[in-house]
Amino acid sequence: MSALRLVETDIRSEAVSVDARYPQVIRQAIGKLNELTQLPDNWDSYGGRAPTKDALMGAVQLAMDLFDERTPIPDVFPVPNGNIQFEWACLGLDIEIEIESNRKCIACFEDLESGENWERAFTFDLTELRKVISELTARNQPQNRLRAVNA
C-alpha cells in the first residue's frame, strides 16, 4: 500500500519518523494527501491522472515550508493532470496553489477586502507566497477573526 511519511534526511543516519514534531495543520494535510495516494488513474471517470509522486511530495514539502500552528487547514484536491491543489476560501481571502513538484507550483490569490489579486508561478523563492499564507494565518487569530466576521 502506498503512503507518505516524513523522515529525517540526515544522510549519515537511518530514516526516523518525525510526524509528531510538526504542527497539526501539516499532519492533517499529510493525512489528506495520504488518502490521495490511493487514487487510481481515471479517478474522475474523465481520464484524470492519479496524483504523481512528485506532486504529492511537493505538497508535503510546501506545507512544511509555509504552514505554522495557526494556519487554517486547506482543502486538498487532486487535479486531473496529476497535480495537487491546496485551497482556502475564508477570512476574506481566496488562495489556490496548484503543486506540480517540490520545484514548481502556481498560485492564484485574491484579497476580497482590498481587491488585490494575482496569479504567479513559484520555484525556489517563496517569499510572496509565504506573505499571503502569513496574512491568512494572521486573520485566523481569535481577535482578528472577530474583525473579519464583523467587517
Partner 1 sequence: MTAQQDILSFKTPPLIEVSFSLQFEPIKELHIGFIGLIWDRFRDRYPTVEIADELAHEIEKFGVISRKSQGIQFLDRVPVPRVLFISEDQQYLIQLQKDRFIFNWRRLSNESVTYPRYEPLRSRFLDELEIFNGFLAEKGLERVSFNQVEFTYVNHIDAEDRSIQQVFKDVIDESRFTPSLVLEAFSVNLKHLIQVEGENIGRLYTSIEKGNRISDGRSIFILKFVARTHPLESTIKGVVASMDVMRREINDCFSTITTEKMHDEWKRQ
Which residue number, 5 or 145, has a Cβ lying nearer to partner 1? 5
Verify binding: residue 40, partner 1, rule CB under 8 A: no
Site string for partner 1, 15-34 (x = CB under 8 A): x--x----------------
Which of 61, 73, 106, 148 is in the footprint of partner 1 by CB under 8 A? 61
Question: Which residues from 130-149 bind partner 1, rule CB under 8 A?
Answer: 130
Q: How far is the CB of 29 from partner 1 (least distance, A)?
A: 12
Could you tell me which of 59, 54, 8 has the C-alpha nearest to residue 33? 59
* Interface mask toward partner 1 for 98-127; x: CB under 8 A: ----xx--------------------xxxx
Q: How many residues bind partner 1 (CB under 8 A)?
A: 33
The reply on whether position 10 binds partner 1 by CB under 8 A is yes
* Exposed/middle/buried for residue 11 (C-beta within 10 Å: 0-12, 13-18, 19+): exposed
b/e sequence 23-40, b meaning 16+ C-beta within 10 Å = eebbeebbebbbebeebe
Query: Is the four-CA dihedral 112, 118, 119, 125 of positive or negative sign?
Result: negative
Window 71-100: residues binding partner 1 (CB under 8 A): none
Distance (Å, whole) CA 109 – CA 123: 17
* Residue appearing with cell numbers 488513474: 41
Which residues sit at the interface with partner 1, rule CB under 8 A? Answer: 1-11, 15, 18, 37, 53, 56-57, 60-61, 64-68, 102-103, 124-130
